[in-house]
Amino acid sequence: MEQKKSIFNSGIYLGVDVGSTTIKLALFKDNELIYKTYQRHLSMIKSKVLGELKKIEPLIGDESFHLAFSGSSGLGVANEIGVPFVQEVFATSELVKAVEKDTNVVIELGGEDAKVIFFDHGTDERMNGTCAGGTGAFIDQMATLMNVTNEELDELSLKSEKIYPIASRCGVFAKTDIQPLLNQGARKEDISASIYQAIVNQTIAGLAQGRKIEGKVMFLGGPLTFCKGLRKQFVETLELSPENAIFPEYAPISVAVGAAIYSSKIKETFNVHDLISKVKSLDTKKKVTKTLDPLFESQDEYDEFLKRHSKATVEEIPISEYSGDAYLGIDCGSTTTKLVLISDSNQIIYSYYNSNNGNPVEIIKSELEKIYTLIEGRIVIRGSVVTGYGEELIKKAFKIDAGLVETLAHYTAAKHFNPNVDYILDIGGQDIKCFKIRKNAIDSINLNEACSSGCGSFIETFAKSLGKDIKEFAKLGLFASNPVDLGSRCTVFMNSSVKQAQKDGAEIGDISAGLSISVVKNAIYKVIREASASALGKNIVVQGGTFLNDAVLRAFEKELGYNVIRPVISGLMGAYGSALYAKTLKLEKSNLISREDLEKFTHTSKMVKCNGCGNHCNLTINLFNDGERYISGNQCEKGESLGAEHADVIQLPNLFKYKQEKFKKLFDTEVDENKKTIGLPMSLGMYDLAPFWKTLFEELGFNVVFSGFSTKKIYQKGQYTIPSDTVCYPAKVMHGHIFELLDKNVDIIFYPCLTYNVDEKNGDNHYNCPVVAYYSELLASNLDELKKVDFLYPYLNINSEKELSKELVKIFAKYRKIDAKSMKNAINIAKIAYERWKFDIKQEGKKALEFAKNNDRYALILAGRPYHIDPEINHGIDKLATRLGFVVLSEDSVDDIELATNLGVLNQWTFHARMYNAAKFASKNKDVELVQLVSFGCGIDAITTDEVRSIMESEGKLYTQIKIDEITNLGAVKIRLRSLKGVLDEKKNERENEDN
């Protein structure tokens, strides 16, 4: 700390930084750092502060000293005891100004905050927005998920060979990406590095927001001090030379040092003894404002509750006392692996439930070994079934007889407890699933969206971060007298709410109970979308690991206002259902891997990049000792056919593919050196009007060049210029498309502002959404690079030939004089091309419907916006659907058959009106289904989804919604589509039976 010699005058200066997870102190006496600390406070803020003050009491003695608090949790304490407070980013810039004047940028990562401070041209400080949790706490969460310590995670990351794309917006998203990687057997080393890279990307995209991080960069805060791998990746990504990347020794306590510097500017001084007694007298109890009713009023009430739930049970007998036939069920979930062996009369003779520690294959192998030892020839396994995220991998690895969709597995099990079950709610580690049952068939399915997932494991991670195990943590919540109201949005928000509650002095028990209530509210109001409990059903069965937590179960019953059934084997339901299903297979002999083969069993995995198409998916190839392999990670048939198994897939009509082929042809343009080139960025509204603009500009004598379909690479090219991190993904990729066009050396880039979209006379009005309409304004504001070309974004009336012509003549006069007549002529030709394009898609739609009818296939409308055709935006959902046997239609291929009228909403957006029409059509045809594609962050879809749902349900049809974002994980989507297919098959069987 040489440099700091000159910072302080003589005297004592103390900086205290209480962040969301840690407390930091820096005590200076006569310019020397005489005490420092960095430690987790485990939410016990008052006692930690007190403890630290006591530690430094002898160092300060009776001398008066300067003091300032900082940090998000420090604010409350500072106010209470009446000491100066300095906002932490401000403290950091104080430090930098005093110590490293020539610093250009500071990047500071804390427990839950991420900050970037630019020092050139006036200080510009950025903090992460409310929807951006991925920082120190994020690393903790991820380490927990992978079952390693933070240090191990760091070590692993240094040995990485490749980086996987992991959604960088927030922790929940990242988790959804990481879990399947773990399940598919990707190397932990690579995942660790990918986690760090996600943080790097998030910092750059979310905080720098268009401003380049360059020059001398200082890295501060705990994670950037302790995680070598993270430091390495920051330096590499930002391309910093060693002298420009500064990692000061005081990095972890930088805010505390900054606070100490700040204190030197304040006249007021303090006495340490007085301070200690002030902190002691702090009453932390009364301040929490938002509290809820306790879960249990008394021990008696709890005992009665336990007694009631212990009745829902399955008989268990020791395996040693059984001989005969047995059936195996495996549930390879996202965070846990469950395994059940049942007897001929459905008793459980063996069960296993545990975290899969990121390696389900090894766990199942050792479990099977155990089982083979225990059955000792007395018991014969007659069938085996696997369900869950890891289904395919496990099926292949251990030659399991069959795979089963999770929803059906759970229903099979629930029926065992209550044949009249009409509602099942399953909250697992990461998924919330709920399904309604009507007439013995699953009638509707709700799954949580990527954004609100992770609720179950969230409680666990949170418990761990407070140094408690989940059971202990849950127990504390049962009798908490003032549960905190933590809201019901995503877990990142809950983190902040917890922070707030801690600040207000809530006790751990109150937080525990509050979290349980939040998980429940999230399920009811966000996933199920019901306002009243009575709409759910009379016979509710709850299950999934999260319901093992009595606090969660109680919170659910309290919220509903009546009791539900929680089977004692709540966590094992998927596996138990699979085992029951295995029994119904009535196999002569199970194909399950034999004891001998199991001994020889080995499993290795390696990563390759698929070169089958432009997507270049990252594939994980799992190799087994017998030469079998299982490939995962691909988005299409090609990659999978590396495994040769799917080569015989029938090519079903797919309008998405058809449209993509059409676009490919459209993109294929010739460039004449003598003409000016106009570049058209392919995202948002361009997916609708591209044929119009292309024809028009070619008619006018320009070259036309497209940026093509989106790719991750294109997205990353423009990522750092995105100013609003909560906008939808299709808008975000727009930035990359601009760079793509710039790389193609175009002269002009064109994306017009269209307040009003094409008037198709379908609704009350014909607007575009604000983002589609005005995104060019944002691009012009935030991409300095656009100054290199002519960026044209005129406001146009696309519906009036006269107005359109007038405006275009004006705009293009600069390049060449075009008279009104030839402009109108060109517009007309373009219009014909556009109409022809649309007509052709509708024709193809009719053909596909015809095919479906003649070949007895389900037709599935993937209803979204035109830009959902982009393979990077839809992540290949269309291909997944055809693989499952659906004929795939787009909303605009069938929107001319029915007209949706008398809607419960203002039908005022052109693209959305198409969806309503398509839904109307699907609702009226028994073999046509609809799945709505929704981009995360699309505010308008909050309105359309409920409306499309009611259109579908008014005719008794299933409604399915799929939320998509940058996440590439198709696991959850697969479950949805497979469940949908399962339900349809069942319904069809029923109809056929009735007919017979």
Partner 1 sequence: MKRKMKEKMKIIDGVMYDENGDAVFTKECKKDYTLLVPTMLPIHFALLKSMIEEFGYKVEVLDYRGSEVIQTGLKYVHNDTCYPATLVIGELLEAVFSGKYDTHKIALVISQTGGGCRASNYLFLLKKALKKAGYGYIPVLSFNFSGLKTQPGFRFSIPEFYDLAKCLFYGDLLMLLKNQCEPYEEEKGETERLVNFWIDKLSKEFKNKKFRKYKHIKSNYPLIIDSFAKIKRSDEVKPKVGIVGEIFVKYSPLGNNNLEKFLVKEGAEVYVPGLLDFMLYSVYNNVIDFDLYGMKKLTAKVSNLIYKFLLKKEEDIIDAVKSEGTFMPPTLFSETLKFREGYISEGVKMGEGWLLTAEMVELINKGINNIICTQPFGCLPNHIAGKGVMKQIREKNPNANIIAIDYDASASKINQENRIKLMLSNAKENL
Distance CA 496, CA 499 (A): 5
The secondary structure of residue 593, as a DSSP letter, is: P
How big is the site for partner 1, counted in residues (CB under 8 A)?
Answer: 80
The distance of closest approach from Cβ of residue 956 to partner 1 in the complex, given in angstroms and rounded to an integer, is 19
Distance CA 884, CA 977 (A): 8
Q: Which helix (H) or strand (E) holds 942?
A: helix 941-954
**The pairing of beta strand 217-220 with beta strand 105-109:** parallel
Tell whether residue 485 is a contact of partner 1 (CB under 8 A): yes
What is the SS3 assignment for 220? strand
Tell whether residue 496 is a contact of partner 1 (CB under 8 A): yes
Vertex 249: Cα angle to 64 and 203 (nearest 5):
110
Tell whether residue 525 is a contact of partner 1 (CB under 8 A): yes
Residue from 1, 31, 84, 125 in contact with partner 1 (CB under 8 A): 125
Distance CA 220, CA 228 (A): 13
The distance of closest approach from Cβ of residue 7 to partner 1 in the complex, given in angstroms and rounded to an integer, is 18
- By beta-carbon proximity to partner 1, the closer residue of 30 and 124 is 124
Cβ within 8 Å of residue 909, ≥6 positions away: 757, 763, 765, 766, 767, 768, 769, 940
- By beta-carbon proximity to partner 1, the closer residue of 133 and 428 is 133
Distance CA 821, CA 929 (A): 47
Q: Which stretch binds partner 1 (CB under 8 A): 267-275, 295-303, 411-419, 900-908?
A: 900-908
Residue from 4, 175, 211, 981 in contact with partner 1 (CB under 8 A): 211
Tell whether residue 129 is a contact of partner 1 (CB under 8 A): yes
Residues between 764 and 803 with contacts to partner 1, criterion CB under 8 A:
767-771, 773-775, 777-778, 781-782, 795-797, 800, 802-803
> Pick from 978, 976, 984, 992: which is nearest to 445 by CA?
976
- By beta-carbon proximity to partner 1, the closer residue of 306 and 906 is 906
Tell whether residue 613 is a contact of partner 1 (CB under 8 A): no
The distance of closest approach from Cβ of residue 136 to partner 1 in the complex, given in angstroms and rounded to an integer, is 16
The distance of closest approach from Cβ of residue 94 to partner 1 in the complex, given in angstroms and rounded to an integer, is 10
Provide the 10 A C-beta neighbour count for residue 247. 15
Tell whether residue 955 is a contact of partner 1 (CB under 8 A): no
Residues between 847 and 876 with contacts to partner 1, criterion CB under 8 A:
none
Per-residue mark of binding to partner 1, 62-101 (x: CB under 8 A):
----------x--x----------xxxxx-----------
Distance CA 91, CA 70 (A): 8
- By beta-carbon proximity to partner 1, the closer residue of 156 and 256 is 256
The distance of closest approach from Cβ of residue 301 to partner 1 in the complex, given in angstroms and rounded to an integer, is 24
Tell whether residue 920 is a contact of partner 1 (CB under 8 A): no
Cβ within 8 Å of residue 808, ≥6 positions away: 794, 796, 818, 823, 827
Q: Which stretch binds partner 1 (CB under 8 A): 319-327, 577-585, 682-690, 753-761?
A: 753-761
Distance CA 591, CA 589 (A): 6
The distance of closest approach from Cβ of residue 799 to partner 1 in the complex, given in angstroms and rounded to an integer, is 8
Distance CA 954, CA 269 (A): 71
The distance of closest approach from Cβ of residue 334 to partner 1 in the complex, given in angstroms and rounded to an integer, is 23
* Residue located via tokens 């403290």: 91
Tell whether residue 560 is a contact of partner 1 (CB under 8 A): no
- By beta-carbon proximity to partner 1, the closer residue of 8 and 85 is 85
Residue from 169, 395, 499, 838 in contact with partner 1 (CB under 8 A): 499
What is the SS3 assignment for 846? helix
* DSSP codes joined into one string, 80-144: HHT--B--HHHHHHHHHHHH-TT--EEEEE-SS-EEEEE-TTS-EEEE--TT---SHHHHHHHHH
Residue from 61, 82, 904, 956 in contact with partner 1 (CB under 8 A): 904
The distance of closest approach from Cβ of residue 683 to partner 1 in the complex, given in angstroms and rounded to an integer, is 14
Whether 925 and 955 have beta carbons less than 8 Å apart is answered as: no
Instruction: Give Cα 316 distance to the centre of its chain.
Output: 38
Distance CA 500, CA 515 (A): 13
The distance of closest approach from Cβ of residue 905 to partner 1 in the complex, given in angstroms and rounded to an integer, is 5
- By beta-carbon proximity to partner 1, the closer residue of 663 and 775 is 775
First to last CA, the chain: 88
- By beta-carbon proximity to partner 1, the closer residue of 130 and 591 is 130
Question: The tokens of 101 are what?
Answer: 């004047």
Q: Which stretch binds partner 1 (CB under 8 A): 116-124, 231-239, 435-443, 890-898?
A: 116-124
The distance of closest approach from Cβ of residue 91 to partner 1 in the complex, given in angstroms and rounded to an integer, is 9
Half-sphere exposure of 327 (CA within 13 A, CB side): 26
Tell whether residue 531 is a contact of partner 1 (CB under 8 A): yes
Half-sphere exposure of 558 (CA within 13 A, CB side): 24
Tell whether residue 905 is a contact of partner 1 (CB under 8 A): yes
Whether 458 and 532 have beta carbons less than 8 Å apart is answered as: no
- By beta-carbon proximity to partner 1, the closer residue of 416 and 949 is 949
The distance of closest approach from Cβ of residue 282 to partner 1 in the complex, given in angstroms and rounded to an integer, is 17
Residues between 694 and 733 with contacts to partner 1, criterion CB under 8 A:
723-724, 726-727, 731
- By beta-carbon proximity to partner 1, the closer residue of 118 and 630 is 118
Question: The tokens of 664 are what?
Answer: 């490919």
